Structures are given as structure tokens and as C-alpha cells.
Amino acid sequence: MNAFAAGGEGFSAALLGDGTVMTWGTTANGVLGRPPWTEGPPRPTPAVVPGVSGIRAIAAGLGHMIALTATGTVFSWGADADGQLGRGDNVTSRPGLITSLSEVQSICACDQTSIAVLASVHVMTWGAVRPWNRPGGSSRVSRTPVPLSVDGLGQT
């Protein structure tokens, strides 16, 4: 059985060989992806994230998680102050699919930012994206995935 691990600020996660994800640590912002949904004492015992299965990769940001399924879709859960869950406005911290993403090949998360590489080789980013990540450079936050746009890196 293969297992992979990821961790953020005060929490950890493991991807098991059967495609399930287990989490443990702080309960802040629903980062464990499982009850209790309100902040409480840390949960030191790993437990499965319910409703999240068929996972082939995980990534942890500062207080959020993203998980790539075998079919190329992405689940997200945890803190969303800067749109890092990628599911638009008024989302809960509970696990949910980023419906605007498909055919995802790989994922990455850091701080309050998430990134996905699509089968088309386009790179999408969301969350606390910097002005140079956005066409026109006008916003620091994107609540949904947008194409990465950096001088010298054209995506057509």
C-alpha cells in the first residue's frame, strides 16, 4: 500500500492506497474536512474525510486542502478567506468539488493559493493570486480558477 502525506499549519493529511484521505490536527476553519465543523480541541487521531474518495494526489496550503481525483476533478476544503477553495462566493469549509475544473493532471497548494495543471497543459490558479497572476493585474484574490498569466509565460 502506498501512502502520501501533506501538511499545513497545525494539521496533517495522508492519502492512502485505496484513494481515501485521512486528516488530523487542528480543527480551525474545517481544515480536517470532517466534523466537528466548529473550532475545538485538536484531533490527534487520523480519521477519514467523509465523501472524498478516488483520490490520487493531495496538497495542503496554510489552512486548506485540495485533493485530485482519479477522474481529474478537484475537491477542496478548509479556510476560504482569500478564495483558496476555488468554489466561488459563500462556500462552506466542508469538502466540495471545484466544478469549474476538469481534466486536471496535477495540483499544488501553498499559503492561501492553489494551482492546477490541466491536461491541455494550461495552468490555473485561485485564492490569493498576486497582481502579476491576473490579466490586467487588478486583483489579489480570485475565488474561482483563472489562467495563470505571468510575463513571459503565454498560455494559448
DSSP letter (8 states) at residue 131: G
If phi > 0 it is left, if psi is from -120 to 50 it is alpha, else beta; for residue 46 that is beta
Q: Tell me how far apart the alpha carbons of residues 85 and 98 are, in angstroms, rounded to a whole number.
A: 8
The reported pLDDT for the residue numbered 138 is 55
Q: Which three cell numbers stand for residue 135?
A: 490579466
Unique residue bearing C-alpha cell 502520501: 4
Give the pairing of strands 11-15 and 4-7. antiparallel
Residue 78 vs residue 5, higher pLDDT: 78
> What pLDDT sits at residue 153?
57
pLDDT above 90: residue 9 = no
Domain ranges of the chain: 4-111
* Cα–Cα distance measured from residue 31 to residue 16, given in angstroms and rounded to the nearest whole number: 18
Q: Which range (11-20, 44-53, 104-113, 122-131) has the least confidence?
A: 122-131
Give SS3 for 52. coil
For the chain, what's the residue count?
A: 156
pLDDT value at residue 127: 93
Distances (CA, A) of 40 to 25, 33, 43, 119, 131: 11, 14, 9, 40, 35
For residue 106, give the nearest of 115, 94, 96 by alpha carbon: 115
What's the whole-model pTM score? Answer: 0.89
Q: How far apart are CA 84 and CA 112, in angstroms?
A: 5
What is the mean predicted confidence (pLDDT) over 102-108? 97
